[in-house]
Amino acid sequence: MATGERKGRIAGLVPVFINLIIDEKKIRDVILWDPWDSTVSVSMFVVNYCRDLQVAGAGMEAVMKSMRWQIQRGAEVLVKASEHCLEWDAAGRPRAECIRSIFLDVTASGQSIFRDQFLWNIFNPDADLLDLVREMCTTLGIPRKYEPIISCGAIRQVMIHRSNLEHIPVGTQVTVDRLFPMRTESFAKNFEARFAPQDKRAANAKPSK
């Protein structure tokens, strides 16, 4: 889902992780959600999503709760990170820079399909990052079916870096990557601890009869 640029607010995407066991059915998925896009409601999306998976009742409620929590948390992170962007251009893009390291080591079926490291301005719209991933996959000859998982991995790390800004007073120099360096082996665990829904009971939800 593409982001819409808004003045004074980072045009970011929220990676929503679905990891539930519903009526002995394991559901694992990642969805990139634009919290500023009001054209599709979370409720409408979840109803259609669960219909495709043949999930109803308490199971649908668990998916709804998980998505709403993560989207709300992601929107809060974006708003807080936007406070560090003190200058914006006429198109609503931040002029400030906050350069952070992005480490990608993506595997599928036990095989490494993409491994790279690059610097990224986490104030940039996430649509730009999706374009970069698409360009890298095209250049390296990586099948398009792997673009979503690579994109989610990149945006997940960007969101972690943005959430770290919550602990830094507004006005503090944040342009260099020295306060919270990221490492490939730790970023996933870091993300789950900071960003995943706190209510783990949803993982054992069963649909109502």
Cα 8 from chain centroid? 20
Q: What is the pLDDT of residues 150-199, one digit of tens each?
A: 998 899 999 999 998 887 777 676 665 544 444 434 444 444 454 444 44
Q: Which amino acid is at 55?
A: V
CA dist., res. 195 & res. 81, Å (int): 15
Give 24's pLDDT tier (boundaries 50, 70, 90).
Answer: confident
Q: Mind listing the pLDDT tens digit for each residue in 98-133?
A: 888 898 888 877 888 888 888 999 999 999 999 999
6 pLDDT above the threshold of 50: no
Q: Full-prediction pTM beyond 0.85? A: no
Q: Is 50 helix (H, G, I), strand (E, B) or coil?
A: helix
Those residues with Cβ within 8 angstroms of residue 40's Cβ, 6 or more apart along the chain or in another chain: none
pLDDT tens-digit map of 81-102? 888 887 778 777 777 788 888 9
List the end-to-end C-alpha distance of the chain, in Å, as a whole number. Answer: 34
Q: If you ran DSSP here, which 8-state letter would residue 172 be given? A: S
Token couple for 75: 């929107």
CA distance 149 to 156: 10
> Which residues touch 63 (CB under 8 Å, ≥6 apart)?
18, 20, 22, 27, 46, 49, 50, 55
Q: Any residues with CB less than 8 A from the CB of 131 and at least 6 apart, and which?
A: none
User: Rg of the chain's alpha carbons, rounded to an integer?
Assistant: 18
Contact (Cβ atoms closer than 8 angstroms) between residue 4 and residue 34:
yes
pLDDT of 45 reads 95
Task: Give the number of residues written for the chain.
Answer: 209
The type of residue at 173 is Q
- With a CB cutoff of 8 Å and minimum separation 6, the contacts of 186 are none
For residue 138, what pLDDT is reported? 92
- Going by the DSSP 8-state scheme, the letter that residue 88 receives in this structure is B
Phi, psi of 8 (to 5 degrees): 80, 10
